[in-house]
Amino acid sequence: MDQDCICGVTQAKFRIKKAWSVDKKTPESIVMLRAVAFVHFICYHPGFSTTALTVKQQFFLALAIAFPFFRVAIFGDPDIITDFVVPAGANAVELDGKFFTYTGMRRLVISDPPANFTVTKAAMPEFPALNGQSVSYAVLQYPAGSVNPPHTHPRAAELLFLTYRTLEVGFVDTANRLFTQGLQAGDMFVFPKGLVHYQLNCDEKNFAIAISAFGSSAAGTVSVPSTVFATGIDDEILAKSFKTDVATIQKLKAGLAPKA
């Protein structure tokens, strides 16, 4: 085996082992260690070509192997190597407890219940201190008979805690299986990451309140009705997709149009 290849593998193994000990076995270090191990196996395998890999060839082989897995490993919020992320333009020395405090929920305590379904978020755009902390929060208020339409959170699971009255909730998995449950105050329900889900207040007389926690500072929300019918997709495409006519699609779009 070429001495450059042996030297390259040895150096790479040393660097990955060092990262393994420092980073406490992060997904990134695990992926790269596996890639190096795979290259090491190829270089020493009896059936491997007698023409050894150069250090540069070895590097690109490891990169090609690791790339698809590395993308999976960093799909969620990235790990940070500091205690917290200082906003651009801010001085870390000048930050105090106010930076880590969010007061946007205070109005919920003193205001009357809303007329329509309302979500009050404490995510990274509203609360910059959450950047890098892999957590966010939302308070959901459901007037009598209201619904939080089918939607997804592409970057995090949602853990819902019902604090007042009752809700009907559900989600659909990738096998098109529907999971539903009636919740009472004090119950919790988890919506797996990326799956379509909804909440309905079946009570026609009383409002309901829930609190949701997310495993990301920016979980994202993709509304199914708005995404499908309010983003400019051609009526003919939608009519064929839903096996209906254009007139029906236009009625659905009209119902989702902003009210003047």
- The pLDDT of residue 71 is above 50: no
The per-residue pLDDT for 72 is: 42
Model pLDDT, residue 36: 53
Binding residue ranges for oxalate: 148, 153, 158
- Are 104 and 208 part of one and the same domain? yes
Query: What's the pLDDT at 35?
Result: 52
- Evaluate if residue 37 carries a pLDDT over 90: no
> Which tops the pLDDT comparison, 140 or 68?
140
Residues 101 and 69 in one domain: no
Q: Which residues are annotated as part of the binding site for Mn(2+)? A: 151, 153, 158, 197
Whether residue 206 is found in the same domain as residue 112 = yes
Which whole number is the average pLDDT over 82-101?
90
Q: Binding site, residues?
A: 148, 151, 153, 158, 197
**Mean model confidence pLDDT for the chain:** 81
Residue 5 vs residue 196, higher pLDDT: 196
Q: Are residues 127 and 49 in the same domain?
A: no
Residue 188 lies in domain = 97-229
Of residues 70 and 80, more confidently modeled: 80
Mean pLDDT of 142-155: 96
Residue ending a domain, among 14, 40, 73, is 73
**Could you report the per-residue pLDDT of 14-31, keeping only the tens digit for each?**
555 555 454 444 555 555
Identify whether 59 is part of a domain: yes
Please give the residue that has the higher pLDDT: either 185 or 75: 185
CA 76 vs CA 65, 193, 207: distances in Å: 20, 11, 34
Averaged pLDDT, 115-126:
94
Do 207 and 168 share a domain, yes or no? Answer: yes
Counting the structural domains of the chain, the total is 2
Is residue 202 domain-resident? Answer: yes
* Residue where a domain terminates, one of 73, 88, 112: 73
**Quick check: is 256 in a domain?**
no
> Strands 136-142 and 166-172: what pairing?
unpaired
Contact 29, 20 (CB under 8 A): yes
Q: DSSP for the chain?
A: --HHHHHHHHHHHHHHHHHHHHTTS-HHHHHHHHHHHHHHHHHH-TTS-SSPPPHHHHHHHHHHHHHHHHHHHTSSSPP-SSSSPPPTT--GGG--GGGG---TTHHHHHSPPPSS-EEEEESTTT-GGGTTS--EEEEEEE-TT-EEEEEE-TT--EEEEEEESEEEEEEE-TT--EEEEEEETT-EEEE-TT-EEEEE---SS--EEEEEEESSTT---EEHHHHHHSS---HHHHHHHTTS-HHHHHHHHHHHSPP-
pLDDT tens digit sequence for 183-219: 999 999 999 999 999 999 999 999 999 999 999 999 9
pLDDT of res. 185: 96
- What percent of the chain has pLDDT above 90? 59
Angle at 8 between CA 45 and CA 25, to 5 degrees: 90
pTM > 0.75: no
pLDDT of 139 strictly over 50: yes
- Whether residue 224 lies inside any domain: the answer is yes
Predicted local distance difference test score (pLDDT) of residue 111: 86
- Nearest C-alpha neighbor of 249 from the set 111, 89, 3, 240: 240
pLDDT band, residue 73 (cuts 50/70/90): very low
Is residue 67 domain-shared with residue 111, that is, in the same domain? no
Tell me the C-alpha to C-alpha distance, in Å, between residue 35 and each of 4, 24, 66, 73, 77: 18, 18, 6, 13, 23
Q: Is residue 252 part of a domain?
A: no
Asked if the structure places residue 132 within a domain, the reply is: yes
Is 194 found in the same domain as 131? yes
pLDDT band at 113 (very low <50, low <70, confident <90, very high): confident
Residue 88 counted as domain residue? no
Q: Do 36 and 102 lie in a common domain? A: no
**CATH code, 135:** 2.60.120.10
How many percent of the chain have pLDDT more than 70?
70
Contacts of 74 (CB under 8 A, 6+ apart): 27, 28
User: Does 137 lie in the same domain as 58?
Assistant: no
Question: Is 257 inside any structural domain?
Answer: no
